[in-house]
Amino acid sequence: MSARDPGPVRLEGETDWKNAFSYHAFDVEVARAEGVFIHDTKGRAYIDASGGPMAVNLGHGDARVVDAIKRQLDAFAYVHPTLANRPRADLCDAIASVTPEGFNASYLVSGGSEAVETALKIARQYHVATGAPGKHKIISFRESYHGMTLATMALSGNPGTATIFDPMLPKWPKTQQYSEFRRPSHLSPEEWAADCADELERLVHYEGPSTIAAFIATPHGCGSEYGVVAPAAYWRRVREICTAYDILFIADEVVSGFGRTGAWFAMEHFGVTPDIITMAKGIASCYAPLGAVSVSDRVNKPFEEGTGFIHGFTYGGHPLACAAGVAVINAIKEDRLVEGARRKSERLFAQRERLLAHETVADVRGWGLFMVLELVEDKASRAYFGPNRQAETLFQSIALSNGLALYSTLYGSRRAGVARRGLPMWISPPLTITEDEIDTLLDRLDRTIGEWERALGVGA
């Protein structure tokens, strides 16, 4: 028995979270979830408007997934990947059925950060195995987000965390992303896209092409440009540069994969094929912790020919997570949710102008069932409220009082100085949402923004 005082016995239904490390939660305790609705212990229902952290692509409580996990649990819950486990093979097949042509091998992990870490190690080992051992740096976007492990934080470049963790992180080079907001008025989006992509080539030149292993990017922008869809010309030029300098192009599709943008993977919209795709979130729609890295046949070749991949996690390819993943992918196919996301997108974005009419909504952008609002204090400069206003927390709690559960972020008020741009607010409900439910979501969102502005004294 521990010498620690166990404290008062907790009554059933009473939770005070005091034993949870660094836990932040709103005062809503979840009892159950079904479809797009989350129900709390007090009988209130909330629309899961961001799909958790842009992750619940299939709605909650889908019997096909629940049954698949139960069936697997009845057979066996776990074996180490050194023993053959059918759900793992089935999941790799299911992934190959939806990834681009020439992507036939996947490595399974438990989430997005692990997927990105795995991709970095695959890239490094690929170059060592193919006779380019000097290639070790990974280029990413300034202000991007690829996870919370140390290596993924080294890619991420979030100014809020840099000062704390910087001494522990590799100093990999960063480039600028495509930004509509910073586009000079005399340039067309395509001309500006070419300029932004050429910046990558200049960086490669100064760093030395023989030192660069990979370039990683999210297809949907990041940080203050979250949800910005760059012209296809941008990604085509990036692809050319990566090919020219033998740099592996990693598309981080942890958020955008599995139908979110109206395609299985967002890079499809641009007609551009990366070398490595990282995925998580929607792959099992949070029914179980799951992530994967899919590689092109070219990247797989040295490993297929015998290069041992120095990697592995106890939970990689966990049978319960794999059973969930297979069932989710099958359900997305069966219910035609990818096509549905394209169709329902029109309903979602039809009310763009209504949202933009608010003084604090500087932009409404995105694609598929992935809409990002940029919330600001001042539309012209796109500056966000200072930290003392607690505007982000206020938005979340007003949204909850209106029956909307929204994902909160690390951006906005925590960014300082030149990076002090608007706060991205994600509207990314489960792809199973109906068109009527989209209208209800938007009504509640509109009301939330209005109440938030009044609480902050905007326009008063």
Name which position in 53, 100, 159, 173 contacts ligand PLP (CB under 6 A).
Answer: 53
Query: CB of 315: closest distance to ligand PLP in angstroms?
Result: 13
Decide if residue 218 touches ligand PLP (CB under 6 A).
yes
Q: Which two tokens stand for residue 270?
A: 């641009």
- Residue 124 amino acid letter: R
Decide if residue 296 touches ligand PLP (CB under 6 A).
no
Name which position in 151, 250, 280, 299 contacts ligand PLP (CB under 6 A).
Answer: 280
Decide if residue 223 touches ligand PLP (CB under 6 A).
no
Residues contacting residue 24 through CB under 8 Å, at least 6 positions apart: none
Decide if residue 224 touches ligand PLP (CB under 6 A).
no
Nearer to ligand PLP, 233 or 283 (CB): 283
Query: CB of 151: closest distance to ligand PLP in angstroms?
Result: 12
d(CA 340, CA 198): 36
Nearer to ligand PLP, 24 or 186 (CB): 24
Residues contacting residue 335 through CB under 8 Å, at least 6 positions apart: 432
Nearer to ligand PLP, 35 or 366 (CB): 366
Q: Helix H segments across 97-230? A: 112-129, 150-156, 159-165, 189-207
Nearer to ligand PLP, 263 or 438 (CB): 263
DSSP state of 281: G
Decide if residue 252 touches ligand PLP (CB under 6 A).
yes
Give me the long-range contacts of 195-201 (CB less than 8 A, separation at least 24).
Answer: 196/230, 196/234, 197/233, 197/234, 197/237, 197/238, 197/241, 198/237, 199/175, 200/139, 200/175, 200/238, 200/241, 201/241
Decide if residue 255 touches ligand PLP (CB under 6 A).
yes
Nearer to ligand PLP, 262 or 282 (CB): 282
Which segments of 187-275 are extended strands (E)? 212-217, 248-252
Residues contacting residue 267 through CB under 8 Å, at least 6 positions apart: 100, 219, 235, 251, 253, 273, 274, 277
Name which position in 69, 95, 116, 425 contacts ligand PLP (CB under 6 A).
Answer: 116
Query: CB of 162: closest distance to ligand PLP in angstroms?
Result: 18
Q: Which two tokens stand for residue 351?
A: 């009310």
Q: Give the x-and-dash track for 81-110 against ligand PLP (CB under 6 A).
A: ------------------------------
Residue nearest to ligand PLP (CB): 112
Rounded to 10 deg, the angle between the 337-349 and 435-456 helix axes is 40
According to CB under 6 A, which residues from 117 to 156 bind ligand PLP?
Answer: 145-147
According to CB under 6 A, which residues from 378 to 397 bind ligand PLP?
Answer: none
d(CA 35, CA 430): 8
d(CA 143, CA 160): 10
Name which position in 92, 155, 204, 254 contacts ligand PLP (CB under 6 A).
Answer: 254
Name which position in 35, 111, 317, 325 contacts ligand PLP (CB under 6 A).
Answer: 111
Give the C-alpha distances (Å, rounded to integers) separating 211 from 137, 189, 310. Answer: 6, 31, 21
d(CA 312, CA 82): 11
Size of residue set near ligand PLP by CB under 6 A? 13
Nearer to ligand PLP, 35 or 147 (CB): 147
Nearer to ligand PLP, 196 or 250 (CB): 250
Nearer to ligand PLP, 192 or 226 (CB): 226
Nearer to ligand PLP, 46 or 370 (CB): 370
Query: CB of 114: closest distance to ligand PLP in angstroms?
Result: 7
DSSP state of 182: T
Q: Give the x-and-dash track for 324-343 against ligand PLP (CB under 6 A).
A: --------------------
Query: CB of 110: closest distance to ligand PLP in angstroms?
Result: 8
Q: Which string of b and e fits 386-410 if b means at least 16 CB within 10 Å?
A: eeeeebbeebbbbbbebbbbbbbbe
Nearer to ligand PLP, 158 or 296 (CB): 158
- Cα of 304 vs its chain's centroid, Å: 29
Decide if residue 113 touches ligand PLP (CB under 6 A).
yes
* Counts for the chain of helices (H) and strands (E), in that order: 14, 14
Of 434, 442, 432, residue with least CA distance to 61: 432
Nearer to ligand PLP, 59 or 147 (CB): 147
Query: CB of 276: closest distance to ligand PLP in angstroms?
Result: 13
The residues of the shown chain that bind ligand PLP, judged by CB under 6 A, are 53, 111-113, 116, 145-147, 218, 252, 254-255, 280
